[in-house]
Amino acid sequence: MAGMRLLPEDSDVTQLRPPAAADLISDDDRSVAADSWSIKSEYGSTLDDEQRHADATEALNYRAEYSSDKDEQDGEAVSSMLGFQSYWDSAYADELANFREHGHAGEVWFGGNVMEIVASWTKGLCMDICQGHLPNHAADANSEPVVQREKDLSGWSVLDIGTGNGLLLQELAKQGFSDLTGTDYSEGAVDLAQSLADRDGFTNVKFLVDDILETKLDKRFQLVMDKGTLDAIGLHPDGPIKRIMYWDSVSRLVAPGGLLVITSCNSTKDELVEEVDTLNQRRNAACQQPGGVGDREASVDSPPFRYLDHVRTYPTFSFGGSVGSRVATVAFLRN
């Protein structure tokens, strides 16, 4: 579940909007896709899955109250085969077989150039934070005691969710990160990522089978990466509620003062920021209600995330009087 395919270079469409897949997905596919991989690892589990589903359902009802001013179509995720685990299991089974036969690493989602930009930009952002600089928040007094950082990148704990073939973690390792973990709900993806890392000499990278929507991880990471995973989640027929489950899980995985870096070709920078604002509003409202849903560690004065910065160097194009790029990479700071 590493990401989505980019449109051809001559496309006039600003965002990836595949056709509805109702006629393409069988009942068997829906049944298989409903299954999630479990994980037994050093990280353990402290989360209640049934409560997570209940929280997400209540949160979805809340979210509807904040989207009344948006077109109904904007609030609906487009169903696609890419939203089902069965698709990714099949895709990575093929890529793993191709690797074993030919040594091919498989497809680099968003392309190698975007992956390199994401890795180098993330390194620069983390180095700035190590030196006490927070982009766009220099005058914010609440930002000063962010977190006691390691002075070099090797001390940062990094999690790549929906890691796919794990090549983003290899690129981050080249940038100086060394405490690296990748998770994916497709066992084939994890097998492929581990095989590639072993072949390419990145034996320190750990790979685990885990579903971000029902994560069994209870460790918190200083840097969490997402390259296309939220896109794929949003393409499931139950995309709206699954996106809320995603944000609830991610907010538990990013350490206070840590970073979440999302790369998307389905959402613009402004749309991702708006989604985080909705999450923050929901958490604040939940904290004001006795027994409400939400992170118990959240408070009215401390929403989970806030926008920090975004990549500004992607190529842009104009269409219909608007200017945009095919990919958005946005960093959020965990409060």
In a domain, 86, yes or no: yes
In a domain, 19, yes or no: no
- State the pLDDT at residue 20: 40
Find the DSSP H helices in 80-186.
85-102, 112-130, 167-174
What contacts 24+ positions apart, CB below 8 Å, involve 309-312? 309/125, 309/135, 309/136, 310/269, 311/117, 311/118, 311/121
- Among 235, 239, 190, residue whose Cα is nearest residue 211: 190
Determine the straight-line distance between the first and last CA of the chain, rounded to whole angstroms.
Answer: 27
> d(Cα 331, Cα 280) in Å, to the nearest integer?
16
**Rg of the chain in Å (alpha carbons):** 19
> Which tokens in the block code for residue 98?
């191709």
In a domain, 18, yes or no: no
**303 Ramachandran zone, left/alpha/beta (phi>0; psi -120 to 50):** beta
Q: For each of the chain's 335 residues, which pLDDT tens digit applies? A: 544 444 334 433 334 434 343 344 444 443 333 333 333 333 443 345 555 555 455 444 444 443 444 444 443 433 589 999 999 999 999 999 999 999 999 999 899 999 999 999 999 999 999 888 887 654 444 444 344 455 689 999 999 999 999 999 999 999 999 999 999 999 999 999 999 999 999 999 999 999 999 999 999 999 999 999 999 999 999 999 999 999 999 999 999 999 999 999 999 999 999 999 999 998 888 777 765 544 454 444 468 999 999 999 999 888 888 778 899 999 999 99
- Among 309, 256, 312, residue whose Cα is nearest residue 127: 309
Torsion of CA 185, 187, 188, 193, to 10 degrees: 80
Whole-model pTM: value is 0.75
Count: domains in the chain? 1
In a domain, 202, yes or no: yes
Looking up residue 285, the CATH number of its domain turns out to be: 3.40.50.150
Beta bridge partners of 223: 158, 259
What contacts 24+ positions apart, CB below 8 Å, involve 269-276? 269/310, 269/328, 269/330, 272/328, 272/330, 273/307, 273/330, 275/243, 275/247, 276/247, 276/304, 276/305, 276/306, 276/307, 276/332
In a domain, 175, yes or no: yes
> Which tokens in the block code for residue 60?
């979805």
In a domain, 276, yes or no: yes
In a domain, 108, yes or no: yes
Residue range(s) defining the domain that contains residue 283: 43-334
